[in-house]
């Protein structure tokens, strides 16, 4: 009995010691964890504070960068605004416009406009005529360091009956030849105190006659239009023919090129193109030519001449 009691005491004592050791170990682990956790949390808080500072510095740097961009954009905008305000150089030469005459209307020529710092072309347009007035086109005028647009306007015509100055030079027209037709050249007319161009047109040819173009003659203090008309064609020319057009035929074996020449037909010179002729043994070709004889020009045809 005494032996059992002693053994029980020893067992209980050992368990108590083990329990106490475990408790102490758990306490040490908790203390260590608290210390380590505190250190980790403190480290995290430090890292967060450092990150926040870096973030603030980044925001500050970006703010400086944004302000720099804003400043540059502002300068760019100011430059654009200055460029867009007015031109300091003259506009380019106006584009060539060739509107056909339109009865009862006046053509207001196109012009360059200044838009967003650049020259922009605006085409012309038609405006209905105003009786007793004529249209004066607008213009760019240099004023100080810039060019300023002066608007066009209708102005009262003091003298609308006749012109006192000659018309402008006739416009260049390049009509194609048309068989059995004659080209009647364009001319200026006087309308509402201004010269107005009228385009040329075709007229059917009249045998034995030629067209005399219209012209302006000075008579006293004014210019008077002498209308074009058909007139009897002279039988012979009194002026030399125009220069011959260039002909460049390729060489052809055994043939001779006879150059083209002007003929006199219905009171006008008419071009006849050259042609090939077979070479003649012991002969040479003498080209035709125009020659002045007294008050006229006479055509001498070409011919083969014996060597």
For residue range 110-122, list pLDDT tens digits in order: 999 999 999 999 9
> pLDDT value at position 42?
44
Q: How far apart are CA 142 and CA 88, in angstroms?
A: 8
Q: What is the pLDDT of residues 164-184, one digit of tens each?
A: 999 999 998 988 888 889 999
Q: What is the pLDDT of residue 187?
A: 94
Alpha-helical (H) ranges within 90-210 are: none
| Whole-number pLDDT of residue 60 | 47
Is the model's pLDDT at 104 over the cut of 60? yes
Sorting pLDDT into bands at 50, 70 and 90, what band is 66?
A: very low
Q: What mean pLDDT is predicted for residues 252-262?
A: 95
192 has a pLDDT exceeding 50? yes
Mean pLDDT of the chain: 79
pLDDT at residue 93 tops 60: yes
Q: Rounded CA gap, 160 and 127, in Å?
A: 19
Q: Sketch the domain layout of the chain as residue ranges.
A: 105-156, 181-230, 255-306
Check whether 10 has a pLDDT greater than 80: no
Top-confidence residue, 180 or 79 = 180
**136/158 Cα distance (integer angstroms):** 14
What is the pLDDT at residue 65?
A: 46
Quick one: pLDDT at residue 45? 47
pLDDT band, very low/low/confident/very high, at 289 (cuts 50, 70, 90): very high
CA angle at 39 for the pair 34 and 42, rounded to the nearest 5°: 120
pLDDT of the residue at 140? 95
Mean of the pLDDT values across residues 255-261?
95
pLDDT value at residue 95: 93
Please tell me which residue, 24 or 7, carries the higher pLDDT value.
24
Pairwise CA distance, residues 19 & 15, whole Å: 6
Token pair of 25 as six digits:
């170990």
Q: How far is CA 106 from CA 72, 101, 154, 160, 292, in A?
A: 50, 8, 11, 16, 49
CA distances from 249 to 119, 243, 276 (A): 49, 18, 9
pLDDT of residue 94: 93
Query: For position 292, what pLDDT does the model report?
Result: 95
Q: Is the pLDDT of residue 11 over 70?
A: no
What digits encode the pLDDT tens for the residues 142-167?
999 999 999 999 988 776 788 999 99
- Report phi then psi at 211, rounded to 5: -90, 130
Q: Report the alpha-carbon distance of residue 301 to residue 289 in Å, rounded.
A: 7
| Statement: residue 285 has pLDDT above 50 | yes
- Whole-model pTM: value is 0.41
Tokens of 212: 């005399």
Q: Would you state the structure tokens that stand for residue 299, as one six-digit string?
A: 């055509």
How does DSSP assign 115-148, residue by residue? ETTEEEEE--EEEE--TTEEEE--EEEEETTEEE
């Amino acid at each position: 009995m005494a032996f059992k009691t002693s053994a029980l005491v020893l067992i209980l004592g050992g368990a108590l010691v083990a329990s106490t050791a475990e408790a102490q170990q758990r306490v040490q682990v908790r203390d260590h964890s608290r210390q380590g956790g505190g250190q980790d949390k403190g480290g995290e808080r430090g890292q967060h504070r450092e990150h926040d500072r870096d973030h603030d510095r980044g925001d500050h740097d970006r703010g400086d960068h944004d302000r720099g961009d804003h400043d540059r954009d502002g300068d760019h905008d100011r430059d654009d605004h200055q460029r867009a305000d007015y031109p300091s150089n003259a506009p380019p030469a106006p584009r060539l416009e060739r509107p056909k005459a339109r009865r009862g209307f006046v053509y207001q020529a196109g012009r360059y406009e200044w838009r967003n710092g650049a020259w922009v072309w605006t085409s012309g347009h038609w405006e209905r005529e105003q009786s007793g007035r004529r249209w004066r086109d607008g213009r760019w005028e240099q004023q100080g360091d810039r060019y300023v647009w002066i608007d066009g306007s209708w102005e009262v015509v003091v003298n609308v009956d006749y012109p006192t100055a000659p018309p402008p030079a006739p416009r260049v027209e390049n009509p194609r030849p048309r068989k059995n037709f004659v080209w009647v050249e364009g001319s200026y007319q006087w309308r509402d105190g201004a010269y107005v161009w009228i385009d040329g047109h075709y007229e059917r040819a009249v045998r034995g006659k030629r067209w005399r173009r219209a012209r302006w003659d000075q008579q006293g203090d004014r210019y008077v239009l002498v209308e074009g008309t058909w007139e009897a064609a002279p039988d012979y020319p009194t002026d030399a023919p125009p220069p011959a057009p260039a002909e460049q035929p390729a060489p052809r074996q055994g043939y001779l090129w006879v150059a083209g020449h002007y003929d006199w037909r219905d009171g006008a010179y008419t071009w006849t193109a050259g042609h090939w002729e077979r070479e003649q043994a012991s002969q040479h070709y003498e080209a035709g030519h125009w020659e002045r004889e007294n008050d006229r020009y006479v055509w001498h045809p070409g011919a083969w001449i014996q060597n």
